[in-house]
């Protein structure tokens, strides 16, 4: 299982792939996460209008694709991903925006290789099938986040769909499933108790975290780093809970949380944290 590949603490998780060096949730970002030394990578799963599963974070397509420049899609603003078919999504450029915006300043600082910059144009929204195949082929553990289907409350069918694709890829041993929708986690535990789970949390911690996670069948806890302190990390890790906060881009903060016992650090700056850890 996932935690058999990663034993100990202080692991680097590439948030949406190597997000500071490549367009997030693309196969280029996944490849660079592996190349730059991440121990595992995190990605987001959503469902298309025709029921396919794709790797994408936002509810709409405007920020990270060229959809606003495509005349055939202009009248569909704000371009919710759930109303686009897989064929339509695969026609979009999901990479050029990064080269143009340089959101982390990594291009300006010379941290992005020219070859990678050239590959950004034309990056596509990947299918979950393709992402799982990459994880399996490279034995690269994956934190698979199921995004909440807010337009279909109570619909748990995405859970069984995700599980089917995990099994078809024969990637069960490499997957940690996480979600802010804890009903999804409970359903995954019911369907596949062997798949490890992590509860994503923001705003406030649930009361009696240890019992709450046990009731869900979750072994991992992924809180917003803004609500996490080192004392809580020590308490939870001491109770056998795998704590991996998001999104930690301050490296001193990341190292402090690791020293307190965090299993993993979910960061945009994969290469920076890997370098700091390797230099210890």
Return the active site residues.
Answer: 15, 57
Cis peptide before 141 (omega within 30 of 0): no
What count of residues does the chain have? 280
Rounded Cα distance, 17 and 33, in Å: 5
243 bridge partner residues: 221
Contacts of residues 252-260 at CB distance under 8 Å and 24 or more positions apart, as own/partner, are 253/225, 256/230, 257/225, 257/228, 257/230, 257/233, 258/9, 258/10, 259/230, 260/230, 260/231, 260/233, 260/234
Rounded Cα distance, 167 and 14, in Å: 23
Query: With contact defined as beta carbons under 8 Å apart, do 263 and 242 qualify?
Result: yes
Rounded Cα distance, 265 and 268, in Å: 10
φ/ψ of residue 78, rounded to 5: -90, 25
């Amino acid at each position: 299982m996932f935690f058999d590949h990663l034993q100990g603490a202080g692991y680097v998780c590439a948030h949406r792939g190597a997000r500071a060096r490549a367009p997030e949730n693309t196969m280029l970002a996944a490849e660079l996460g592996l190349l730059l030394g991440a121990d595992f990578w995190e990605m987001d799963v959503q469902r298309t209008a025709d029921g396919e599963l794709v790797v994408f974070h936002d509810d709409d397509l405007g920020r990270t694709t060229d959809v606003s420049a495509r005349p055939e899609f202009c009248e569909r603003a704000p371009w919710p991903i759930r109303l686009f078919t897989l064929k339509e999504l695969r026609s979009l450029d999901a990479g050029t925006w990064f080269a143009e915006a340089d959101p982390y300043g990594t291009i300006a600082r010379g941290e992005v290789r020219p070859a990678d910059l050239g590959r950004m144009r034309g990056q596509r929204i990947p299918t979950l099938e393709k992402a799982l195949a990459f994880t399996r082929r490279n034995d690269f553990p994956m934190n698979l986040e199921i995004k909440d289907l807010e337009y279909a409350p109570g619909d748990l069918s995405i859970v069984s769909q995700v599980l089917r694709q995990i099994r078809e890829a024969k990637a069960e041993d490499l997957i940690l499933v996480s979600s802010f929708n804890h009903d999804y986690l409970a359903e995954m535990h019911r369907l596949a108790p062997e798949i490890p789970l992590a509860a994503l949390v923001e705003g406030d911690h649930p009361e009696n975290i240890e019992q709450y996670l046990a009731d869900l069948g979750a072994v991992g806890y992924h809180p917003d780093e803004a609500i996490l302190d080192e004392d809580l990390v020590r308490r939870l890790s001491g109770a056998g809970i795998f704590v991996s906060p998001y999104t930690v881009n301050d490296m001193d903060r990341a190292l402090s949380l690791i020293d307190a016992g965090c299993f993993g650090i979910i960061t945009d700056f994969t290469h920076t944290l890997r370098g700091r850890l390797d230099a210890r």
